Structure 1
Amino acid sequence: MSDEGTRQDVVPPDYAAGAGLPWWAKVASKLAIAALRVPPALLRRAGVNRHSFIAESESRVLHEPCTRAGEFANRQGRPPRGVLELGPGRLVVRAPAYAALGCAPVWFADVEDDAPEDPAAYARVAELARGIGLPAPVLEGLPNKAAVLAACGARQLIGGTEVLAAIPDSSVELIVSDVVLEHVRRDALPGLLAELRRVAAPNCLGVHAVDFHDHVGGALNTLRFPPGFWEGPLVARSGLYVNRMGLSEIRAAFAQAGFATRLRDIRRWPASPPGAGAAHPSLSRRAEDDLIAFARIEALPV
């Protein structure tokens, strides 16, 4: 597919820099916490390694599902029948929105369960959907999250790529991931994309937002670390892990799995950020990839 019409923005050099600490101090603190083996759920309750601090805003829980389903409907003349969200975290609360849009069945696949247990969180989204005229299911009075998801025609799949085996072949018409693919381990990404190709219907639309910057301090300083350390268990536990693949590598992996890709929008640094020139030689990154901070990729099966 052609990239003609891609929206391109230039971001400031300190894009996604976060708190005003040196990048190495942030990395060291994350690694120190990981070495203590504090349970992930406890860290999230303390505000560390949370999926998103705005996960339950109206924009995210209602408007984004409407937008993605609308993009499919603009192409096919109807809502998608079968939706897969990768790594939704707390955004499992979108289930009533998808039900109101007529998108069932819906699968939410994640490595751990961070979705709210309180049915009231889902009832709130259903009420928001009804507020804009959508026929959301009535969820008041349901006893737990499991009952809510069943009423919405939705299901959680918790674990690695293997959990996608529960989804029938060619049954998904909309696949969504939001800053998820960069966290998939480098050696696991081909298998994940192969599974997405298996479950994708012939008319499937995939929309994947990918951050290419470090997740502490922005820039590309994590490229400095050798793979033997970066792919090890300490980094995996720390919440620091990104697979350090550039845009061209991600697109090549999609192509290998049987998807054609198009860039919807990209954000570029004005010049190579800190760390790009010090990348470990084994990474063999393209120079043009070192300018890309973010991309939204459309993927269609071929």
Structure 2
Amino acid sequence: MGIPWWARMGAKLALRPLGIDYGLWRRVGLFRHGAMDDPNHAIAVFDRHFAHYNGGPGFVCLELGCGDALSSALIARTRGSARTILVDVGDFADGDPLVYDRLATALGLEECYADRNDYLRRANAIYLTHGLASLRELPDACVDFLFSNAVLEHVRRAQFADISRELSRILRPGGTATHQVDLRDHLGGGLNNLRFGDGFWERPGVAEAGFYTNRLRMDEVLSMLAQDGLRAEVLSTSHFDAPAIARRHLHGQFAGLPDEALRIAGFMVRLRRENAASVAG
């Protein structure tokens, strides 16, 4: 029998005050920022997003939320990128060069790396670890292709509009962005996060305990992403097989959500910025 959502939540809330380094949690398998240190998984994730980019070689790529490894940099290089920018809210990426040696082998490359910095240099990449502040440091219209995979749901609700604005600002005319968004809770794969109001959920002690999601529904996410001339197209959606939560358990903040919003478990969206010349023509 699986661990109940409330037990997972209680355990993480209890463990947070211990101040244990993330690297230790990752090594013992209790917390992970994705699985991009698995070469096959990383290649599959990148290519799923890159399939929706319609530009040519020499592009600048940005990954938002690269998590436990900087794999996308080397994959992007093999797909024709000129440069890759990796942005996260902290330095979570593995520094073991063997992680990147294995990736190179999976990509058919005969390369090995002295350390993480050597890998980044040879992959033509930079790693920025201050989240929104890092995005704000980037110049306007500097990225051709940007993507995130199961990341946007973790952006703090109060910062989501600002993150969306920055992602729009840095995308060049003719550029493409794709985002895979997981709308489930991170306590058991349901919607138990909707049992709580923001007064509790957004407290630092709760939001930093390792299970935070911003609880934004698909329509809300799309309305904030599709701004400043970006065209949004939902590429796919996934749904719960059965109601993920009874309405009587919803916090009043979410009581007005329509049934359809509560059925959607996740989605993938593509955003495109029209080329200035084509718009003018």
Q: Same fold (TM over 0.5)?
A: yes
1:48 maps onto 2:30 in alignment: yes
1:83 maps onto 2:54 in alignment: no
Aligned 1:164-179 pairs, distance under 5 A = 164-179=135-150
Aligned 1:143-292 pairs, distance under 5 A = 143-256=114-227, 258-274=229-245, 276-283=247-254, 284-292=256-264
Task: Report the TM-score, using the length of structure 2 for normalisation.
Answer: 0.89
CA distance in 1, matches of 2:248, 2:228: 30
1:118 maps onto 2:96 in alignment: yes
CA distance in 1, matches of 2:89, 2:137: 15
Q: Is the 8 A contact 2:45 2:149 kept in 1?
A: no
Offset of residue 80 of structure 1: 6.0
Which of 73, 81, 86 aligns to 1:103? It is 81
1:38 maps onto 2:23 in alignment: no
CA distance in 2, matches of 1:223, 1:67: 30
Cα 1:258–1:230 change in 2 (3 A) is farther
CA RMSD of aligned residues (A): 2.1
* More deviation, 276-285/227-236: 276-285
Q: Is the 8 A contact 2:226 2:271 kept in 1?
A: no
The AA in structure 2 aligned to 1:82 is V
Q: Is the 8 A contact 1:221 1:274 kept in 2?
A: yes
- Is the partner of 1:282 in helix, strand or coil? helix
Q: Is the 8 A contact 1:219 1:275 kept in 2?
A: no
- Is the partner of 1:294 in helix, strand or coil? strand
CA distance in 1, matches of 2:23, 2:246: 31
CA distance in 2, matches of 1:37, 1:237: 11
**Cα deviation code 1:88-147 (max 9, x no counterpart):** 112312322211222121011011122221223223222322x2xxxx5x643x432112
Q: Is the 8 A contact 1:83 1:107 kept in 2?
A: yes
Higher relative contact order (CA 8 A, sep 6+): 1
**Cα deviation code 1:50-88 (max 9, x no counterpart):** 113x4333332334334433432xx33x23611110111
Q: Is the 8 A contact 2:39 2:71 kept in 1?
A: no
Offset of residue 28 of structure 1: 1.0
1:68 maps onto 2:40 in alignment: no
Cα 1:276–1:47 change in 2 (3 A) is farther
Ranges in structure 2 where 5+ consecutive residues have no aligned partner:
275-281
* More deviation, 40-49/227-236: 40-49
The AA in structure 1 aligned to 2:17 is A
Q: Is the 8 A contact 2:236 2:267 kept in 1?
A: yes
Cα 1:38–1:124 change in 2 (3 A) is closer
Q: Is the 8 A contact 1:204 1:301 kept in 2?
A: yes
> Sequence identity, in percent?
32
CA distance in 2, matches of 1:253, 1:128: 37
Q: Is the 8 A contact 2:244 2:262 kept in 1?
A: yes
- State the number of aligned residues: 273
CA distance in 1, matches of 2:233, 2:205: 35
Q: Is the 8 A contact 1:223 1:275 kept in 2?
A: no
The AA in structure 2 aligned to 1:34 is R
1:295 maps onto 2:273 in alignment: no
Cα 1:230–1:269 change in 2 (3 A) is same
**Cα deviation code 1:131-171 (max 9, x no counterpart):** 2xxxx5x643x432112201111010101201013322112
